[in-house]
Structure 1
Amino acid sequence: MGRVCTAVLAGLCVLFVVAQASLECKNKGSCSECIQTPNCMWCGRSGNFTDESGQNLKRCVKRTDEGVSQWRETCGAYNVYDLANFFEMIDNFELTQAGVLAGSGSASGGGAGGSWSAGSSEAVVQIKPQRVAMQLRVQESYSMTVTFRQAEDYPVDLYYLMDLSKSMEDDKESLSLLGAQLAFEMQQITQNFRLGFGSFVDKVVMPYVSTVPEKLEAPCLGCARPYGFKNALPLTADASSFEAEVRNAPVSGNLDAPEGGFDAIMQAIVCQDQIKWRQEARRLLVFSTDAGFHYAGDGKLGGIVKPNDGKCHLDPLYNNYTHSTLQDYPSVSQINQVAKEHKMNLIFAVTAEQSSVYKELAKMIEGSGQGELTANSSNVVELVKAEYDKITSKVELKDNATAPVSIRYFSKCKSNTEKETAVCQGLKVGDQVDFRVEITVEKCPENREDWKQLIHIYPVGLRELLAIELEMLCDCACEREGNAGFIDRAAECSFAGTYQCGVCDCFDNYLGSRCECGANTTIEADGTFDESSCRETNTSSVCSGRGSCTCGECTCNERDDTAERVSGKFCECTNFLCNRFNGVLCGGPDHGVCDCNTCKCKPGWKGDACMCEDSQDNCINPASGEVCSLRGDCECNQCKCSENENGRYSGKWCEDCPTCKGKCEPYKPCVQCLFFQTGELSEEECKANCSDMFNATLVPIAAEEEAGERLCSFYDENDCRFKFVYGYDENKEPVVRVQQTLECPPKLDILGIVLGVIGAIVAVGLALLLMWKVLTTIHDRREFARFEKERMMARWDTGENPIYKQATSTFKNPMYGGK
């Protein structure tokens, strides 16, 4: 069954990649379920499918299973459904050679007022292959090579769409003067070039334009009537016509800042016949403005609520947009949709003030670019040429595939390393780029009609594409009515189901491999079968979740690993769900075996995972012969030390206790009274209580010398530190070694310290007083000297002193005449 994959066809290498099986092949009940699982195949043999010993064989197995050759032989070559991915080349025309365009005409003219002709050209091939057919299984990917090479002298159509509001008047003059130069520069890139011109203002309704009658005739001085969009010059090879049309185009005016550019873009794209866009040409739409744009929803301001229909509405007589006042502006997504559909490359040539806005807009429209105009558009030729170079130096593959089909792209571009990308940049005319396209069907759609799809892979901005006729392999031929392996109401199915591909597909209310369960089986109120006999308890899963209930009995699932088994009346037992030790089931075959989810340990081992030796040899302290030194329990032949109020024991045999209090405190009073005659015990108490407590000796330095000894250190009432070490001899009797010298702090001269402190305080006080006296004396002397200096410098005169008054007063009688 299935067709053979063609490896190499007409130079195209097709790589077959088998995906890892993400689901089990076993326990699949039908051929369609089986082949929808990667790497699985089905036996559709009629009747019982058993081996020589009569053992039932699984109908769905992996291609890589052990014994699959014998399985194939038993099933029969014509009964095996091992559907394979299939690839067939339909159209694979060679790429157009660089510099060769069949039928391309020669250019003439090019100066101001000149013209050129391109002639007719046959279809240019820039992508191969052009059409393929393939059949794919779920999650079994196919890789194929797609080659792209940009041809020289590829036809180019450039339509210049300009905002002709009053503020763009100087830009229009520049464009009319540069029209011939624009045509000449584009001719250097391609001889097959055509140029067109259109203009726009805004919708002729309030509040976009003034509807006062005189303003409708002349919205500004020297302005023409406002309009929405006008196709002034369809695409033509005559440069002089372009210059004349731009020069004679009148400017107009409106009220608000944004313009109706989206209306114009929509009409310029969808009016294919009126603009005269060529099918086999790269289409450039240059949009020039110094203002923002209205978009869908803004029409409500003018009482226009009908959405834009995305259709052409140009007056055949005057080439004006007739529905400007009848329907709303288009949305950004509508512009993007029609630009993709008609393979349009938009170039937004805008002033610096609007550059940031249109840069973001260009990101939202496929195949768009943005450049910055000078104040009067004098750089328009350089801008168009630069943006065209950006567009043509980049190839980006896209597709229209939808779920559940996924497509990934890989390419080396111009490097030696392949990476996952659908974009190659920095290309020149004639550069060839190979893309490895990996196509995967993630799952089969529920709707059978979606099993066949036509997918397009295309370079952005070009009309050429690769068409893929994809058929998903989601079922087997023996599951289709009319096939020899399809029998409705078959006797093999107790006349209660359809016999297909060797198994029964039972009707509703019937179960069993032969649809034998149903008539005598208890059916619940909701229409399901009574499965209570397949549950171990009322809360248990049916067949413990490891099998299926057939006619009231559990049929346990089989495992991919033949060594793993599920058994029991309710499929409750397994030989693979026991505890593990070091990642090994029941510690390994030498330790125990898994029996019904529980480890059965072999002699010499114990524990829930048979991980413990059944012995206490490693727990016996060789020094004392006691198990864990009587300070812990022996578990798994290892000591687990205990903990009490004194501390926690440690060590291999729990012989150590770093945190325990030990004998330091009990031995302290006796060491003090016996060797240093200090402490809380009197001489009589010392003799009575300490004489036989331990065997003690004096040593120069007390230090731990053997394992198990402990150093004790204390301070007495004189702040002298004494040290001793205690341990045990071979008879477990305490032995104490006392350091013979006390470590006492040096004696301090308290009186000298007190007197010194008092003297220091007095000296500091006297020094401060003396400093204060000296400073005040110096200050007083300076003040007195300054006073004396000022007094000596004073030279008072009675005539000059403003506060001096003479002792006598003089009066004059105005009536006295001297007589």
Structure 2
Amino acid sequence: MSWCIIFLLIQAEIISYKFASTAEVCTKIKANTCQECIQSGPHCSWCKKVNFTKAGESDSVRCDTTAQLLSLGCDQSNIIDPISETLNIDTQDLNDGTQLTPKHIDLQLRPGETGEFEVQFKRAKGYPVDLYYLMDLSYSMFDDLVNVKELGNQLLSALNGITKSAQIGFGSFVDKTVLPFVSTHPEQLKHPCTDKSVQCQPPFSFKHILNLTGDGNKFKEQVGMQWISGNLDSPEGGLDAMMQVAVCGDKIGWRNVTRLLVYATDDGFHIAGDGKLAAILTPNNGMCHLEDNIYKKSNEFDYPSVGQLAQKLSQNNIQVVFAVTSNMVKTYQDLSNLIPKSVVGGLSNDSSNVVQLITEAYQNLSSEVILDHGITPDFLDIVYDSYCSNGVNVLNDVRGICSNVKINELITFKVKVTAKKCLPNQSFSIRPLGFTETVKVSVTTACDCLCEDAIDPKACNSNGTIVCGICSCNKGHLGKNCECAEGSKTSQELEQNCRKDNNSAVCSGAGECICGQCICHINDDSSKKIFGTYCECNNWGCEMFENKLCAGEGTCFCGVCTCNADFDGTACQCKRSTDRCMNNGSICSGRGECKCNLCTCKGGYIGPYCKTCPGCPSPCPRFGPCVECHIKHNGQNTGNCTDVCFGATVKQVETVTEEAFCREKDSDNCWMQYFINEEDGENKFSIRYTLKRECPEAPNVLFIVGGTIGGVTLIGLIGLIIWKIFTELKDRNEYKHFEKEKQKVKWDENVNPIFTTATTTVKNPNFEDEDEDEKSI
């Protein structure tokens, strides 16, 4: 029974915690008036009940959530809690001439609270169209001009097939008439074309030739009088021309209908900064400078930037069709990505397919609806929920977008507007890009309290009046109930009430003691406040993070940061989110804590999710006995393996295919193969193993001994043969050398004159008569 009670208490604690975490909270800083209270946050309410506060309580207790005020005894009729709401809606019926509703909305916003309203769009059939054909007349467009001269009636006929009323106009461009864009040689200025036999007009930046008209013959007549021109470099001055077409609406003749600008070229374009090549340093000012239908100040102003041009086109509801040759399609697709409501079409080399290209581009542009509100103050947030007819819903986007919208198809956008603070009356317009209709939204903020207080002459001690439940004292009277007149008590008595304790300074040295109450000093910087019964608190003495008070994500209250809902920490420096700590649904893999949306890992594990532990020993040896136990039990009767497998989930598989598997020896000196995966949490592993082991075979002693002896004998024999061969070769070499030396010796048979023989001849005198007889001694 005791365990059941404990369980119920835990459940109750969890439920109460969840309720507290989702409850509305009023974060206020000493709100002593109704206006200060309701400006503190969207959940702050003010109790105007007279005598609501107790003795010694500050009027700031009147400011809290509605639920808290009700619990303190303030009835609903005395609670001031303005809300965001729509005050007035001016709707209009959708028909062939009206595609957008409502026309006007009055919206009241409570700071911090979102106001919502709906906008509906219905694509009308046959909505009027104005089309302005802007053509590159540089020399490479020579054959294109021939076809465009016959284009008027064909183009009008194609447009009238999809709309009730169509008008077309024409203009052309080349480039700025200065070096290095155009040759300024007098002869080149007269005839810039390379082929002198071709009729060629002098170069120009932009020339408006024909106002928007429904007369196709007039288009043919005016365009027929145009001739090709030329310039030096490949990029053209097309952005200059587009800017003038966008901002010179009265001279072009734009109507309040769908506006198309067809930009035809076979080359690139100059952008802002290129004018420096010609010493043109003044930025484009986005103004109309047409004189006699010619842009004569092109050499004074730089080319416009892409962002500047996109803004002007959007402001004037102009949709662009880039009709370019195949080699330029990629370039203009990149440009189209930066310009809302624009498309790119592949133009044939002679512009013969331009009518089909424009028709298809119009259908594509008209079928995409993009709601945009332009530029609004930073403290006004606007987002859209798009509910498209094809079932695709896009929520909380900075624009409302629906594609593939068919004729007579109704689509709905929910617009959500939030004011971050009180602001003067504002207005902005929501419009579908490329269309001229708008929804005007007038915004007011509910920052004032409209209190209807009963007039009681005895209230406030007859020295003031009740305003939203608190006394507004007449001149010369002070105090919570105007009970104190100036000079009614001694200064010592009054000062004692303004000291926190006997050792404290009067009003903590940060205020003045008036009528026994501290009136805190006011800083020159209105954002810095001193408050508290004894002026002991301020809203700037809190911890800083990255040079921001409370990291810019909270408010400073008496030295302590009160963080916004999504932040935590002593300086509100930490996001309460755990999205950067989540790994497969687990926070920090169960091996760490998520602090400041980053994992703080335990036991040697490292981030970002505490998955790896570089310094930890391999788990392979640790779980070797576990796997051996399962193998020896043949994968069954594994209850005996519980102790050695603590912290692991073991499963038998046919093969271990992972590259990073464990290979350990068991007690039989056999190799086991298994794979270990570390699960989320501490000391949690999953093991997959196979019953197959690699065991070594017993050694063949006879083979080893015989092989060893035979090997030694064979090595000795081979060594002896090698020695014998070596010595034989050496002897043969020596003998050949001897023979050669012997043949080189030559014997000389002449007598050496200095040679004396070693034999001496002596004659015996006794035998002189006899035959000579020599005797050698």
State whether residues 288 and 350 of structure 1, in contact with CA within 8 Å, keep that contact through their aligned partners in structure 2. Answer: yes
Match of 2:62 in 1: 59
The verdict on how the C-alpha distance between 1:310 and 1:764 changes in structure 2, with shifts beyond 3 A counting, is same
Match of 1:395 in 2: 369
Match of 1:501 in 2: 468
The verdict on how the C-alpha distance between 1:465 and 1:493 changes in structure 2, with shifts beyond 3 A counting, is farther
Match of 1:29 in 2: 32
Q: Does 1:238 align with 2:188?
A: no
Shift of 1:385: 1.3
Q: How far apart are the structure 2 equivalents of 1:771 and 1:390?
A: 95
Partner residue of 1:352 out of 326, 339, 343: 326
Cα shift readout 1:729-772 (whole Å, capped 9, x = no counterpart): xxxxxxxxxxxxxxxxxx9999x899635423246549989999
Percent identity (aligned):
37
The verdict on how the C-alpha distance between 1:770 and 1:172 changes in structure 2, with shifts beyond 3 A counting, is farther
Q: How far apart are the structure 2 equivalents of 1:396 and 1:71?
A: 48
Shift of 1:430: 1.2
Cα shift readout 1:20-54 (whole Å, capped 9, x = no counterpart): 735336964331232232233212345x32589x9
For the residue of structure 2 that corresponds to 1:364, the secondary structure is coil
For the residue of structure 2 that corresponds to 1:360, the secondary structure is helix
Q: How far apart are the structure 1 equivalents of 2:328 and 2:438?
A: 35
Letter of the 1:35 counterpart: I
Match of 1:621 in 2: none
Match of 1:550 in 2: 533
Q: Does 1:759 align with 2:709?
A: yes
For the residue of structure 1 that corresponds to 2:149, the secondary structure is helix
Match of 1:40 in 2: 44
State whether residues 143 and 439 of structure 1, in contact with CA within 8 Å, keep that contact through their aligned partners in structure 2. Answer: yes
Q: How far apart are the structure 1 equivalents of 2:410 and 2:360?
A: 22
Match of 2:258 in 1: 282
Match of 1:171 in 2: 144
Q: How far apart are the structure 2 equivalents of 1:765 and 1:83?
A: 108
Q: Does 1:301 align with 2:301?
A: no
The verdict on how the C-alpha distance between 1:553 and 1:765 changes in structure 2, with shifts beyond 3 A counting, is closer
Q: How far apart are the structure 1 equivalents of 2:244 and 2:367?
A: 28
1:668-687 aligned within 5 A? none
For the residue of structure 2 that corresponds to 1:191, the secondary structure is coil
Partner residue of 1:408 out of 383, 388, 392: 383
Shift of 1:134: 1.5
Letter of the 2:350 counterpart: N
The verdict on how the C-alpha distance between 1:552 and 1:412 changes in structure 2, with shifts beyond 3 A counting, is closer
Q: Does 1:139 align with 2:112?
A: yes
Q: How far apart are the structure 2 equivalents of 1:511 and 1:453?
A: 38
1:581-592 aligned within 5 A? none
Partner residue of 1:380 out of 354, 359, 364: 354
Q: How far apart are the structure 2 equivalents of 1:493 and 1:285?
A: 74
Shift of 1:242: 1.4
Cα shift readout 1:470-506 (whole Å, capped 9, x = no counterpart): 111123246xxxx97999xx988999xx985344799
Match of 2:564 in 1: none
Q: How far apart are the structure 2 equivalents of 1:288 and 1:80?
A: 65
Shift of 1:523: 6.7
For the residue of structure 2 that corresponds to 1:202, the secondary structure is coil
The verdict on how the C-alpha distance between 1:506 and 1:349 changes in structure 2, with shifts beyond 3 A counting, is farther
User: Which is worse superposed, 191-200 or 359-368?
Assistant: 359-368
User: Which is worse superposed, 169-178 or 129-138?
Assistant: 169-178
State whether residues 32 and 59 of structure 2, in contact with CA within 8 Å, keep that contact through their aligned partners in structure 1. Answer: no
Shift of 1:418: 4.0
Q: How far apart are the structure 2 equivalents of 1:366 and 1:407?
A: 18
The verdict on how the C-alpha distance between 1:525 and 1:354 changes in structure 2, with shifts beyond 3 A counting, is farther
The verdict on how the C-alpha distance between 1:410 and 1:20 changes in structure 2, with shifts beyond 3 A counting, is farther
1:223-622 aligned within 5 A? 223-279=200-256, 281-316=257-292, 319-400=293-374, 401-416=376-391, 418-420=393-395, 421=397, 422-441=400-419, 443-445=420-422, 450-477=423-450, 500-503=467-470, 520=495, 522=505, 549-551=532-534
Match of 1:12 in 2: none
Shift of 1:391: 0.5
TM-score, scaled to structure 1: 0.55
State whether residues 493 and 514 of structure 1, in contact with CA within 8 Å, keep that contact through their aligned partners in structure 2. Answer: no
The verdict on how the C-alpha distance between 1:486 and 1:95 changes in structure 2, with shifts beyond 3 A counting, is farther
Cα shift readout 1:358-403 (whole Å, capped 9, x = no counterpart): 2111121222222221222222112111211111111111113332
Shift of 1:170: 0.8
Match of 2:130 in 1: 157
State whether residues 202 and 208 of structure 1, in contact with CA within 8 Å, keep that contact through their aligned partners in structure 2. Answer: yes
Shift of 1:212: 1.2
Q: Does 1:72 align with 2:75?
A: yes
Q: How far apart are the structure 1 equivalents of 2:254 and 2:304?
A: 21
Q: How far apart are the structure 2 equivalents of 1:306 and 1:398?
A: 31
For the residue of structure 2 that corresponds to 1:195, the secondary structure is strand
Letter of the 1:138 counterpart: P
Q: How far apart are the structure 2 equivalents of 1:169 and 1:209?
A: 18
Q: How far apart are the structure 2 equivalents of 1:239 and 1:191?
A: 16
Letter of the 1:409 counterpart: Y
Q: How far apart are the structure 2 equivalents of 1:372 and 1:201?
A: 21
Q: How far apart are the structure 2 equivalents of 1:493 and 1:140?
A: 39
Q: How far apart are the structure 2 equivalents of 1:207 and 1:50?
A: 81
Match of 2:659 in 1: none
Q: How far apart are the structure 2 equivalents of 1:157 and 1:554?
A: 66
TM-score, scaled to structure 2: 0.57
State whether residues 130 and 466 of structure 1, in contact with CA within 8 Å, keep that contact through their aligned partners in structure 2. Answer: yes
For the residue of structure 2 that corresponds to 1:468, the secondary structure is strand
Shift of 1:524: 9.3
Match of 1:698 in 2: none
Q: How far apart are the structure 2 equivalents of 1:571 and 1:327?
A: 56
Q: How far apart are the structure 1 equivalents of 2:94 and 2:700?
A: 110
Q: How far apart are the structure 1 equivalents of 2:246 and 2:53?
A: 67
Shift of 1:356: 1.9
Letter of the 1:550 counterpart: T
Match of 1:88 in 2: 87
Letter of the 1:361 counterpart: L
The verdict on how the C-alpha distance between 1:159 and 1:549 changes in structure 2, with shifts beyond 3 A counting, is closer
For the residue of structure 2 that corresponds to 1:365, the secondary structure is coil
Cα shift readout 1:262-295 (whole Å, capped 9, x = no counterpart): 221111111111111002x100011111122122
Shift of 1:95: 0.4
Q: Which runs of 5+ in 2 are unaligned?
A: 1-21, 499-504, 514-529, 539-557, 561-639, 644-697, 723-777
Shift of 1:428: 1.3
Q: Please give the root-mean-square deviation of Cα atoms over the aligned residues, in Å.
A: 4.5
The verdict on how the C-alpha distance between 1:143 and 1:90 changes in structure 2, with shifts beyond 3 A counting, is closer
Q: Which runs of 5+ in 1 are unaligned?
A: 1-18, 102-123, 531-546, 556-569, 573-703, 708-746, 773-819
For the residue of structure 1 that corresponds to 2:421, the secondary structure is coil
Cα shift readout 1:89-114 (whole Å, capped 9, x = no counterpart): 34211001xxxx4xxxxxxxxxxxxx
Q: Does 1:209 align with 2:182?
A: yes
For the residue of structure 2 that corresponds to 1:245, the secondary structure is helix
Match of 2:571 in 1: none
Letter of the 1:405 counterpart: L
Match of 2:762 in 1: none
State whether residues 87 and 108 of structure 2, in contact with CA within 8 Å, keep that contact through their aligned partners in structure 1. Answer: no
